Amino acid sequence: MHDLAPLTPLGAAKPRTDTIGDWTLTEVTDRALASVAARLGREEEAARIVADLLGAEAPAPSRLSGGEIAAFWSGPDQWMIEAPLKTHEALAAQLSARAGGAISVTEQTDAWCRFDLTGPDLPRVLERLCPVDVHRLVGGEAIRTTMEHMGCFLICRTPVHVSILGPRSSAGSLHHALETAMRAAK
């Protein structure tokens, strides 16, 4: 076991939590991520591999599915897989090993920072951040969008819980944008 200590995207030892009004913003660092893309001609096989992993259909465009292990759509025949980091730090290697060459897998765990926003009436905050029709979100959506010039995924887990994945190197800017929107919407 190595002895290097990780830093969170915001540059601290522990994830950060902020509460503004009725909303809580939490930096999430305990999830592993891997991208999965179907090899040419093996699209159906790829979708089956994802479905087997989730115990549910591979998500359709702009959708999220699964539970503890979840996946969201990221492009035609492409998905991002989420799993607990504790048990799946080697998620990409684990997926690759069981794929039989039907998919290309790439580790994405540290490519993203993730902030979870929870609380009532989330569209009031989100409508200040991205052009998504956020008042229509009911849970299960995963939408590629931009927030303050940063390419992000907006993942609606339930109407009172969304995750925002953004570029890890811009975690500070994204966090600032989210906090600012929360204060303005309060």
Which one of the spans 50-58, 62-70, 153-161, 168-176 is the region binding other proteins (CB under 8 A)?
168-176
Q: Least distance (Å) from other proteins to the CB of residue 65?
A: 21
Is 90 buried (19+), middle (13-18) or exposed (0-12) by CB count in 10 A? middle
**Alpha carbons 49 and 144: distance in angstroms, whole number:** 23
Supply 178's token pair.
């989210």
Site map for other proteins, 89-128, x if CB under 8 A?
A: -x-------------x-xxxxxxx--------------xx
From the list 49, 150, 165, 178, which residue makes contact with other proteins (rule: CB under 8 A)? 150
Would you give the DSSP letter of residue 9? Answer: T
Per CB under 8 A, 44 contacts other proteins:
no
Q: Which residues contact 35 (CB under 8 A, 6 or more apart)?
A: 74, 78, 79, 80, 81, 105, 106, 108
Residues at the interface with other proteins (CB under 8 A)? 1-9, 11, 29, 35, 37-41, 78, 90, 104, 106-112, 127-128, 130-133, 135-136, 148-150, 167-174, 176-177, 180-181, 183-184, 186
